[in-house]
Amino acid sequence: MRRPLLVLQHAPWEGPGLVAVAVSHHAVGVPVHTRTVLDDADAALPRASSLAGLVVMGGPMSADDDLSHPGLPAERRLLAEAVQAHVPVLGVCLGMQLLAVALGADLHHRHGTEIGFAPVDVRAPDPVLGPLGPDPTVLHWHGDAVGLPPSSTLLASTSTTPVQAFRAGSAVGLQFHVEVDEELLGTWLGEPAMTDGVDPAVVAQVRADARRTLPGLVPHALTGLAAFVEAVAARA
């Protein structure tokens, strides 16, 4: 029996999106197990060695909000164990922050809000990030930030968020959202938990920018995600 890809979600509307599309194209036959354990104080997660890969998605909570979400420590332990075991890992937004904290980085609460489509400064080549091209325009939706984990490589930054992406061995963390296509973004923008407190003009700008940006961005995002998924398939 093949080892599975485990996807950890923190909100029902923040699903794997284009990651799932890449799996369907490049990892046929690899089981995908999706779980939400952030509120489970006794979260029973599998050992990293039993996984083909690990994807940790975004969410509205902070990466160290253990009192409100007692399952987060189990996620961080699994992330650290996966990197040590050379399991392919993809952390997105909150998932990147959990990965960074698990590897010893500092978490900076309310460091600077970035919501909408804007470029990132690519600092180093990487199979997942490289297909997006130099200084790609991507979707941001976050307020917290992290430092760079020890012994990791900075992949991308912005002036507001110096660590926008990093590589640590088999793991890549992305503060921004390459998994989003028009359908998933429409779900986000229809979800009050995402848009409450956001200026309606900002939401309208996100919609308008998505129509211009996503048709060109999605094919390149899928190419980068394919590199991650192919590593998962090789381990399954």
Chain centre to alpha carbon of residue 184: 14
> Catalytic residue among 93, 114, 140, 142, which?
93
Q: What is the pLDDT of residue 72?
A: 98
pTM of model > 0.75: yes
Active site residue 86: no
Dump pLDDT digits (tens) for 94-149. 999 999 999 999 999 999 999 999 999 999 999 999 999 999 999 999 999 999 99
The continuous run of DSSP H or E covering 132 comes out as none
- SS3 state at 174: strand
Listed by start position, the domains of the chain span 5-235
Q: Name the 3-class secondary structure at 86.
A: coil
- 10 belongs to the catalytic site: no
52-87 per-position pLDDT tens digit: 999 999 999 999 999 999 999 999 999 999 999 999
d(CA 138, CA 144): 17
Q: Which residues have CB under 8 Å from 67's CB, separation 6+?
A: none
- Fold entry, domain 5-235: Rossmann fold (3.40.50)
Please report which confidence band the pLDDT of residue 51 belongs to, taking 50, 70 and 90 as the band edges. very high
- Given 26, 140, 142, 177, the catalytic residue: 177
More confident site: 197 or 222? 222
Q: Which entry of 14, 75, 114, 179 is annotated as an active-site residue? A: 179
Give the integer Cα–Cα distance in Å for 160 and 157. 8
In whole angstroms, how far apart are CA 156 and each of 117, 176, 208? 15, 10, 25
Enter the DSSP assignment of 144.
-
- 179 catalytic? Reply is yes
pLDDT at position 1 over 90: no
pLDDT value of residue 93: 98
